[in-house]
Structure 1
Amino acid sequence: MGRARPRVCYALNGDSRTMSLRLVAPVVLICAAAPLSAAPGEALLEAMRVPEIVQVMREEGLDYAQEMGEDLLPGGATRGWRAVVSQVYDTEAMEEVVRGQFIDSFAGTEAGPLLDFFTSEDGQRVVDLEITARRTLIDDDLEASAREAYQALDGTDDPRLEQIEAFVEANDLVEANVVGAMNASYQFYLGLVDGGAFEMTEEEILSEVWAQEEDTRSDTREWLYAFLLVAYRPLSDAVLDEYVALSASPEGRAMNRALFAGFNAMYDEISYGLGLAAAQQMLGEEL
């Protein structure tokens, strides 16, 4: 029930570099009631504020694509680059990919317990806190502060940290996020190659991506815990315990798998599109 942001790795003038892009999926962002007559996946997508989730992801993506342009492209983050990035982060297309993959993955799962919780007052508060935390961490300074707060707690027996660790472990969130991040990096490289910016074999791309695995894992874990600590700070222990238990249930695990299926597919498409766009910019082609 959560994704940290993929790290995109790339090569420039022979140097391997990495940067973190906010290509991130939500933890779980469900709030309003849904028509119970709808299919389970559709009902949950109606209950999840999907357009708002995708809009936050667009804001995150545009912010980091600006940084990418300044770091990677010879001309920096030009008007043409910003225009094509805006097209890549098309909210309608992003939502369509998420919706299709989620429904396919979630098919056959009982949605009742999930809807019961997330349409309750406590569930709605969880949603609002998650949305607020995601928007908060778009700010680099606030993100740095959140990471520092996690670093200060890491390795201690802090009760809230232990609850969040249980939440992360119940859904194997670190590993799932690392896999998603590395897949996104692979797609970005593939876009660069297909766009003509580099000549690399599949084996060379994989080697570059795997070379960043350790850094990706460390960054992913830190961001994920920092985000969750910020988001759930106002929750009572009882509500968070209930949320952890739900996430560890068969229904919660199925929903998390469906979320990863949907958002991973979306991020793969975005990453490939960014790679193509970056290649065109690097080659001086009209965007």
Structure 2
Amino acid sequence: MRHLLAACLILVTALPVWAGARHTVLMDVLKVRELSSILHEEGIKFGATLNRDWLDGQGGPAWSQQVTRIYDPERISEGIRAGLEPALEGELLEDAIAFFASDLGLRIISLENAARRAMSDPAIEEQARAQYAARQGTNDTRLVQINRMITEGDLVNRNVTSALNSNYQFLRALVDGDVYTMSDEEILEDVLSERDDIAADTSSWLGAFLTLAYSPLSNEELTLYADFATTPAGKALNAGLFAGFDPLYEDISYALGRAMALNLAAEEL
């Protein structure tokens, strides 16, 4: 009986290790570390914008170092993983790995990351937005599949909600840092006042990004990807990514707000 119990304990304790290994495979095929590096670079640029708009460009090395720490790539990777692990297990996890480990799946991830980097250039972003806008209202078969993915994944609403929550946390941090005096209700009202503008901008950006990213794919390949996105595994992956990104960027936004409050206070001394 003791030998049997020991064997069962080994099996039970091995399960999380196996599950963790498979989630590591998922992270690898999704190239999450590469994406985290891209998001880190975006964060550095956003930090420069905050420095210009809020600190009159006087943040200096101290502000740059704070922003670099806040957008730590390892922190971003772990935040994404924290959302994916509970969302994808068993068959859902294996189906997601199988798709993104395929030639098409690997190519799609590479295209998405390349497009994300490319759209950090304002000129390319503007051109991509214009191309997407020009296709709206047409029977373009590629646009149909892209809009299908946006709709099925509820990508606009999910991204808008994430942006609003992040903005709320940034303002809350400024209030906590004595930059502003506002109640929670006033912060929420201020944030929600921008909802329509954020929704319009998000819809345009998403369409532009997906149009640019998938432009090298054939119609058949794009349809196959759209089909996968509507499967249980595709939906679970989408939910898991947002489950990771949402709290991650709320924490990042709050940290940025507190860092900004400290810098503004230092300016007043």
**TM, length-normalised to structure 2:** 0.88
Counterpart pick for 2:153 among 163, 166, 171: 171
Q: Which residue of 2 aligns with 1:98?
A: 80
| 1:229 to partner: Cα distance | 0.5
Contact 2:83 2:242 in 1 (8 A): no
Distance 1:100 1:141, change over 3 A: same
If each structure's helix is expressed as a fraction of its own residues, which one has the higher value? 2
Contact 2:29 2:106 in 1 (8 A): no
91-100 or 62-71, larger mean C-alpha shift: 91-100
Q: How does 1:179-190 map to 2 (within 5 A)?
A: 179-190=161-172
Taking the aligned partners of 1:36 and 1:142, their CA distance within structure 2 comes to 42
Taking the aligned partners of 2:19 and 2:84, their CA distance within structure 1 comes to 18
Taking the aligned partners of 1:63 and 1:71, their CA distance within structure 2 comes to 12
Contact 1:137 1:143 in 2 (8 A): yes
Q: Which residue of 2 aligns with 1:64?
A: 46
| 1:262 to partner: Cα distance | 0.6
Q: Which runs of 5+ in 1 are unaligned?
A: 1-34
Q: Which residue of 1 aligns with 2:117?
A: 135
Taking the aligned partners of 2:18 and 2:138, their CA distance within structure 1 comes to 43
**TM, length-normalised to structure 1:** 0.82
Cα deviations by residue, 1:112-168 (Å, 9 ceiling, x for unpaired): 222222111111111111111000001111111111111222222222111100111
Q: Which residue of 1 aligns with 2:175?
A: 193
Taking the aligned partners of 2:248 and 2:111, their CA distance within structure 1 comes to 24
36-45 or 203-212, larger mean C-alpha shift: 36-45
Counterpart pick for 1:119 among 76, 96, 101: 101
- Report how many aligned residue pairs link the two structures: 252
Cα deviations by residue, 1:177-235 (Å, 9 ceiling, x for unpaired): 11111111111111111122111110011001100000000010111000000000010
Q: Which residue of 2 aligns with 1:269?
A: 251
Cα deviations by residue, 1:229-273 (Å, 9 ceiling, x for unpaired): 000001011111111111101111011100101111211111111
Taking the aligned partners of 1:90 and 1:126, their CA distance within structure 2 comes to 25
Taking the aligned partners of 2:101 and 2:57, their CA distance within structure 1 comes to 48
Cα RMSD (Å) of the superposition?
2.0
Q: Secondary structure at the match of 1:199?
A: coil
Q: Secondary structure at the match of 1:234?
A: coil
Counterpart pick for 1:244 among 221, 226, 234: 226
Structure showing greater Rg: 2
- Identity across matched positions, percent: 38
